[in-house]
Amino acid sequence: MKAFTYERASSPAQAAAIVARTPGAKFIAGGTNLLDLMKLEIETPTHLVDVNGLGLDQIEPTPDGGLRIGAMVRNTDLAADMRVRRDYAVLSHALVAGASGQLRNAATTAGNLLQRTRCPYFYDTNMPCNKRKPGSGCGAIGGYTRQHAIIGHSEACIATNPSDMAVALRALDATVETIQADGKTRSIPIADFHRLPGDTPHIETVLNRGEMITGVVLPKPLGGVQLYRKVRDRASYAFAIVSVAAVMRPDGGSRVALGGVAHKPWRVEAADARLPDGARATTAELLRGARPQQENAFKVILAERTVAAVLAKAKA
């Protein structure tokens, strides 16, 4: 871990300004992903701005009947919030499907959105990785690819986004709120927040330098049956091989998103419309154009079967 200086920010705007003007500066919130990566020198910030303690730890109703989740709300607290459990169950389910009790107590909403891939070639600094070191190549292609993307990837990168929470937020059409160095705020639809790798896999979100997430807004409750199904090898404390977030509404407007298959939470609006036709039709639309690796081709079938499991459970 490289040496870094440390300071506690006094306001979101100040934090954004510091990071924008200080080369090598980064925000730190829960620290559960950033410190992991700093120990391996995958992340090498020279200055850390601690954004805990800025009052961004509240969950409040919005005027139009939704919820605003502060960026620093811990994953545990978000999952346990009775409004979330009642009206956004898919989010609560997704959160508790991730990581461990200890990690969820530290990890934040913003940090969860920004967590980086678990690709082992990204994690091993002896290996080529375009995400870690642009231009060095992709070590994963042709290597061990069980966990990797089957759709939306590029010749430069086949990594997946490991977040469970983000898949649920995608199904809910959440909005990410940010503040920039100049104090301006903006709202970014979750669909636009994460990028596909293309030939710049090291750029993972649309955030600008110094732009800080202040919260996530959930639209007014969708109702319906909300499910999150995470498929993994061991029963807990493991990243998804495939996951499905679904909001099933009897009167239409159902939606489904996949995790574990792409560089971002994967949702295709056209697939939502196929939900009444069953898992096969829905998944065919979701994964149209999928190009799996040899080792992870099973994810296509697994995704279809997991969607089927979710549909069956929603009916029951």
CB of 183 to another protein, least distance (A): 25
C-alpha–C-alpha distance, residues 315 and 96, integer Å: 23
- DSSP code of 108? B
Task: Indicate whether 22 belongs to the interface with another protein (CB under 8 A).
Answer: no
DSSP helix, strand, coil percent of the chain (3-state; round to 5): 30, 20, 50
56 lies in the binding site for another protein (CB under 8 A):
no
Strand stretches in the chain, DSSP E? 5-8, 25-28, 47-50, 59-61, 67-70, 175-179, 185-189, 212-218, 225-231, 242-248, 255-259
Tell me which residues in 148-207 interact with another protein (CB under 8 A). Answer: none
User: Looking at beta carbons only, is 23 or 63 nearer to another protein?
Assistant: 23
| Beta strands at 47-50 and 59-61: parallel, antiparallel or unpaired | unpaired
Stated as kind and residue range, the H or E segment containing 120 is helix 120-123
Interacting residue with another protein among 146, 209, 220, 288 (CB under 8 A): 146
By rule CB under 8 A, what count of residues binds another protein?
83
100 near another protein, rule: CB under 8 A? yes
222 lies in the site for another protein, by CB under 8 A:
no
| Residue 308 found at the interface with another protein (CB under 8 A) | yes
CA distance 98 to 285: 27
Q: Contact with another protein (CB under 8 A): which of 26, 143, 202, 249?
A: 143
C-beta of 28 vs 207, nearer to another protein: 28
Contacts 24+ apart (CB under 8 A), 268-273: none
Q: How far is the CB of 254 from another protein (least distance, A)?
A: 16
Structural tokens at position 111 = 């940090």
For residue 31, state whether it binds another protein (rule: CB under 8 A): yes
Type and span of the H or E element at 165: helix 165-172
> What is the Cα–Cα distance from 38 to 221, expressed in whole angstroms?
38
Q: Cα 106 to chain center, whole Å? A: 16
Query: Which residues lie below 8 Å from residue 63, measured CB to CB, with a gap of 6+?
Result: none
Question: Binding to another protein (CB under 8 A): which residues in 121-140?
Answer: 121, 123-128, 133, 135-137, 139
One residue of 35, 191, 225, 268 binding another protein per CB under 8 A: 35
The reply on whether position 221 binds another protein by CB under 8 A is: no
Nearest approach, Cβ of 204 to another protein (angstroms)? 19
Among 16, 25, 68, 92, binds another protein (CB under 8 A): 92
Contact window for another protein (CB under 8 A) among 35-43, 170-178, 190-198, 217-225 = 35-43
Does 27 contact another protein by CB under 8 A? Answer: no
Q: Closer CB to another protein, residue 188 or residue 275?
A: 275
